[in-house]
Structure 1
Amino acid sequence: MKQKNNGSKGFSSGILKAVHLLAVIHFVFALYYDSTYVHFPSTKGTPNEFGGKLKYLTICNVYLQVVYFSISLINDFIGTNEYHPKKAPTVRKVKDYLFSSMCFPISFNVGISFWGIYIVDRELVCPEILDAIFPLWLNHMVHTNIMVFMILELFMLFRNNTSHSKSLMGLLSFMCSYLVWIHIIKHYSDDWVYPILEVLPMSVRIAFFAGCIALAVAFYFLGDFLNKMVWAKETRLGQHKFK
C-alpha cells in the first residue's frame, strides 16, 4: 500500500503538531515574560512607554512567529501538508506565504543583525546594565530561537513559494512600515528605539536603514535558495505534475 505523502521528510503528523505547538507556547511565554517583567528605560534615563513593546522589531517578529505557528498548527488539523495538493486550502496558502515572505527573512534579519552588533559592541543594542532586566535566556528566546525554529520548519515541511514579486512586496511593506513607525516614535518621544541610532550621523543612519532592508531582502533569497535545495526533488515533481 502506498503511503500518503504528508509533505514532510519522514516526520509524522504527530511530530509536526508537537513542534508547532511547542513553538506557539515558546513564543507566547516569551511575550508574556517580556510584557510582564521587562521594562526598559529610555536613553535619557526615564521610562519610554510610547509605542509600547511593539516599538521593537524583535517583539514585532515574535508576534509574527506566534501568528505563523498558530496558522501552521491549524493547518496541521484542518488543512494539508502535502507537497502538491490539487487545491490547497486558504490556511495552507497563508502559511506558505508568511514563511517565505516575512517569517524567515525577518527572523534572520533580527537575529543576525542583533548578534552581529552585539559581538562588535553590545552597548549599542543591549547594554550590560540591562542584563538584570533582560536575562540571557530570554535574549536567546527572541534573538536566537527565532532562527532555530525557522531552520527546523524549513527542513521539516515543503512549501509552495509564491512569486518573488508578491513575496518581496509583503516583505518590503513590512520593513518600510516599521521604519516609518520608529520615526513616529522618535517624533513623539524624542527618543530613538535603539541606542545605536543615537550615535549615527544622519547620512550613516540612512545607509543603516537601507542596509537593514537590503539584508532582509538578502535573507528572503537565502530562504528561497535553501528551500529549493532541500526540496529539489519535490519541486521538480511538482513542476512535472502541473505541466
Structure 2
Amino acid sequence: MILPIDMSQDEDPRVSVYIRVRWKLLTCWFNLLSIAYQPIALYCDWKEKRGEWDHVNVKKWRKIRDYMMTSILFPTTMYSDFFFWRMWFKNPALIAPVAIFKYLPSWAQHSLHTVSGVMVMLDILTLPRKRPKSILPGLMGLVGFCCLYSTILVTSYYSGEVVYSFLDMFSRSQLFLLGLLAFTEHFFFFTLQWCIVDLVWGKTQTAEKKD
C-alpha cells in the first residue's frame, strides 16, 4: 500500500527520508512475508484437493506454511495491528511525522492495519491445524524474528534513521518497558492462536481418532 508512494520530493526531511524508512516498518515486513506465504498456501491447498496431501514434498511445504503463519505471521500481525491503533488513537505523531499521513487515503490505515489482522485470524480459524507436541520451535522462531527486528530498529536509530517517532519521544526506561510489553504481547498472541486451534479443531481431531 505505502511502497508505491513517492515521498522523496517532500520539503520536510522527516517525510522525504521515509522513502527508505518505510522498508523497516513492521507492517512492511509482515506484508512481504504474507506475499511469500500466499503461493505456498495455494500450492498446498491445490495438492490437498488433488488428494496428494500426504506426498513427501507436500508435507514439507505444509510444515513451512504452518510454521510461517503460527510462528511469525499471526502473532506479529495481530500485535502490529493492535499496537498501531492504540498509538493512532492516542497520538498519530507517536508513529510517524503527521505530515506523512497526508500521502495516504483515509481508508489506507484500515487496509494496512485492520484487513491484515482479519486475514490471519481467518487463516487460523478455517485451516485445519493441531497443536504441535512442543511449541518451543515455533516460539524460538518468533523470538528470533523479534530480536532481529529489534536490532534493525536500534541500528537504524543510531545511524540517524528513526523508524518510529516514539523512539525519539520516549525515555530509555519507557522504551525498555515498551519493548518488554511488545515481547509479552507477541507471546500472548502466539499462545492465543493455539487456544483457538484447540477450540476449533480439537474436537474434530478427537472424533477422527475415535473413528
Query: What's the TM-score bracket when you normalise by the shorter of the two chains?
Result: 0.7 to 0.9
What residue is the counterpart of 2:198 in the other structure? Answer: 228
Matched, 1:35 2:3: yes
Change (3 A) 1:201 1:228: same
Change (3 A) 1:130 1:44: closer
What residue is the counterpart of 2:38 in the other structure? Answer: 69
What residue is the counterpart of 1:115 in the other structure? Answer: 85
Matched, 1:200 2:179: no
1:225 deviation in Å? 0.8
1:57 deviation in Å? 0.5
Matched, 1:187 2:158: yes
- Write out per-residue CA displacement over residues 88-128 of structure 1, whole angstroms, 9 at most, x where no aligned residue: 61111111111111111011011000001111222212554
What residue is the counterpart of 1:174 in the other structure? Answer: 145
- Write out per-residue CA displacement over residues 180-225 of structure 1, whole angstroms, 9 at most, x where no aligned residue: 011111122x232101111100111111112111111111011111
Change (3 A) 1:49 1:155: closer
Matched, 1:141 2:111: yes
What residue is the counterpart of 1:98 in the other structure? Answer: 68
Change (3 A) 1:50 1:131: closer
Change (3 A) 1:237 1:54: farther
- Normalising to structure 2: TM-score of the pair? 0.85
Quick check: 2:75–2:186 contact (8 Å CA) kept in 1?
yes
Q: Which AA in structure 2 matches 1:170?
A: G
Tell me, in whole angstroms, the C-alpha distance in 1 between the residues paired with 2:15 and 2:191: 41
**Which stretches in structure 1 are left out of the alignment for 5+ residues?**
1-29
1:51 deviation in Å? 5.1
Change (3 A) 1:70 1:135: same
Q: Which AA in structure 1 matches 2:94?
A: L
1:78 deviation in Å? 2.8
Moved more, 55-64 or 85-94: 85-94
1:154 deviation in Å? 1.7
Q: How many residues align?
A: 206
What residue is the counterpart of 2:136 in the other structure? Answer: 165
**Which stretches in structure 2 are left out of the alignment for 5+ residues?**
none
Q: Runs ≥4 in structure 1, deviation > 6 angstroms?
A: 40-43
Aligned residues: percent identity?
22
Secondary structure, aligned partner of 2:130: coil
- Write out per-residue CA displacement over residues 122-141 of structure 1, whole angstroms, 9 at most, x where no aligned residue: 22125543332122322212
Quick check: 1:109–1:216 contact (8 Å CA) kept in 2?
yes
Tell me, in whole angstroms, the C-alpha distance in 1 between the residues paired with 2:20 and 2:50: 37
1:52 deviation in Å? 4.8
Q: Which AA in structure 2 matches 1:168?
A: L
Secondary structure, aligned partner of 1:37: coil
What residue is the counterpart of 1:78 in the other structure? Answer: 47
Q: Which AA in structure 2 matches 1:210?
A: L
Tell me, in whole angstroms, the C-alpha distance in 1 between the residues paired with 2:3 and 2:54: 40
Tell me, in whole angstroms, the C-alpha distance in 2 between the residues paired with 1:81 and 1:193: 45
Tell me, in whole angstroms, the C-alpha distance in 2 between the residues paired with 1:120 and 1:75: 41
Q: Calculate the aligned-residue CA RMSD, in Å.
A: 2.8
Tell me, in whole angstroms, the C-alpha distance in 2 between the residues paired with 1:43 and 1:201: 25
1:74 deviation in Å? 1.3
- Normalising to structure 1: TM-score of the pair? 0.75
1:38 deviation in Å? 4.7
